[in-house]
Structure 1
Amino acid sequence: MQCLELIIPPLPQLLTIGHSSWMPGQQHVARSFNVYDMLFVTKGTLYMTEDDIPYEIKEGSMLVLEPNRMHIGHRPCEEVTEIYWIHCAHPAPSRIMDSGQISWSMPFTKGTNDDLAPHHQVMYIPKFTNIHIPDILPILQQMLELHHALSPASSLSLQTLLANLFVELQTAARTGYAPRSRLLCDQSIAYLQQHLTRPFDAKHMEQTLHFHFDYLARCLRKYTGMSPLQYLHDLQVRKAKSLLENTELSVAEIGQQVGIDNANYFIRLFRKLAGITPGQYRSVRIGRV
């Protein structure tokens, strides 16, 4: 599945949402404007072309028309066709990627007290795909109701519903069409996060996830570049950094909090991954608060 990569924050801003039924013989006019036009078909088929690429948006599918691209209905509807549409303002996508190639679990850079601007983040929405209508129809209907009676009391809820819609679409892109290796990578990461303080046990991981450890390790390395143990160590050091910055726990106590009882080993591991000792890291971070 092809996905549009959008840089955030800010999130795309809702401009309008609409709903209509198109009769047989009706077709979309030619238009190009600087907004995203998201089309959701809940009945019938809508025929659209974007920059000479034709699409048949059938019942239970969606298409995102991109800013400043020419789109036109290349063929009239042949049956009653029910659609919802959403217009959003946001910069053009930075790129288009196949959902199976997206590094869904790769951590972003952690924010610090010194930041004056948000770190680079991205979100993904499908370009053209089938969707599970029952998952999104309630969101579309609520958005439509709030938009018809828009006021200061409802505008935040409306924008929040749009964000919820994006979450549903991104989840569908991540899970519904991802290759098994990507899903197992995500499951491995979830396992390591849940067992952060447990001594690493390849056999337990294998039994919990019901796949051979070597295969799980290959899937994780494919998308993160790290083995399960390396990824666990990365998680432990990330948590240790947060504890060093935000608590007064001793270095040994922090090591225990992240699952490493041997203080000397914890210090060596921290220095290997962070470049400095835990004590030096705390001194640097506290000095900048």
Structure 2
Amino acid sequence: MLQFICPPMPHYIVCGEDTYPVGGKHPNRSNIGVFDLLLVTRGCLYLEENGVTYTVPANHYLILLPDQTHNTLQACRDQSHFYWLHFQTLGLWYETDNPQPVALEAEKLQYERIAYFSSYLTRTGHLKDPEIVYAQLKQLLLLQGEPSSLSQWKQQQLFHDLLLHLREDDGLPMNQPHLRVAEQSAAFLRTHYKEAISYKELSEELHFHSNYIALCMKEAFGCTPLEYVTKYRLEQAKLLLIHTDDPISKIADETGFGSFPYFIRCFNKHVGCTPKAFRMQYRSK
């Protein structure tokens, strides 16, 4: 499985299509510097990447890595048609069997304008709705003939739709129980952050022991449920401090902190200043 830390999102470079006759072979290459997505519509490709073999039949796909060596394992037995698509990312990416949490920022950001998240893709898989994916690829090919900034924008949109479709097809990472529990827990905390949430209530909602939920969130997000909801409450409080003139005591109550002194302590600890000082940074003098 591939894990991409976003933003930035992976970006589309170029795509094409090819047909190999019986006996045809995919070219051997090494360190091409881009991800190579192969989607077979007819026939079969037989490939090898650093000693790992892949058989890619019709309506299946394979992603070859940018920093590895790719060889043909054997020639095509039948006439084989496939689309190929090159993409890359300027962000962090990993090949892993165990998704890594997005590390919490070491610095104390005043106003967190960017929310980082992980995007997952399996290296190889079956297309449940191949005609939808092939239609997207055909549209990408048509747009390549239009050298304009608008067509380039549309290409990136189509590419992200295609990646989302692949992710929905492979079902990852939600087929991993601990990630599913962590996502469900995070969604519940974001929905009910204004309320006083106990571990008992979280356990009853998800039907898992609170210790297991905490372990799942630590694995997926690198923090406990309490740390997660505190961080989320602080971000909501920052928005209210910047965009409203509400009293700070009211903001503390509306974001689920309950106690005004507790809100002040949390804000000081995690942001490095008082709520009032934070608000004044964004007010005209």
TM more than 0.5:
yes
Matched, 1:27 2:30: no
Displacement of 1:183 in angstroms is 1.3
Which has the higher mean CA deviation after the structures are superposed, 267-276 or 145-154?
Answer: 145-154
Matched, 1:280 2:262: no
Which has the higher mean CA deviation after the structures are superposed, 211-220 or 172-181?
Answer: 172-181
1:136–1:202 CA distance, 2 compared to 1 (3 A): farther
Q: Aligned residue for 2:74? A: 75
Displacement of 1:86 in angstroms is 0.8
Q: Is the 8 A contact 1:125 1:173 kept in 2?
A: no
Matched, 1:161 2:158: yes
Taking the TM superposition and a 5 Å limit, the aligned residue runs for 1:1-289 are 2-3=1-2, 5=4, 8-9=7-8, 11-15=10-14, 17-32=15-30, 33-67=32-66, 69-88=68-87, 96-103=94-101, 124=119, 126=121, 128-134=123-129, 136-147=133-144, 153-170=150-167, 175-176=172-173, 178-283=175-280, 285-286=281-282
Could you tell me the percent identity over the aligned residues? 25
User: Aligned equivalents of 1:4 and 1:199: distance in 2?
Assistant: 34
* Paired positions, count: 281
1:222–1:176 CA distance, 2 compared to 1 (3 A): closer
Amino acid at match of 2:141: L
RMSD: 3.6
Q: Is the 8 A contact 1:50 1:71 kept in 2?
A: yes
Gap runs ≥5 in structure 2: none
Q: Is the 8 A contact 2:61 2:127 kept in 1?
A: no
Which has the higher mean CA deviation after the structures are superposed, 201-210 or 36-45?
Answer: 201-210
User: Aligned equivalents of 2:26 and 2:175: distance in 1?
Assistant: 33
Displacement of 1:166 in angstroms is 2.9
Cα distance per residue 1:113-154 (max 9 Å; x no partner): 8x9xx9796765546221434163443243234335665553
User: Aligned equivalents of 2:189 and 2:44: distance in 1?
Assistant: 45
Amino acid at match of 1:102: Q
Gap runs ≥5 in structure 1: none
Displacement of 1:184 in angstroms is 0.6
SS in structure 1 of the partner of residue 282 of structure 2: helix
Displacement of 1:224 in angstroms is 3.1
Cα distance per residue 1:31-76 (max 9 Å; x no partner): 4544432111233320123355432223343222334654332311
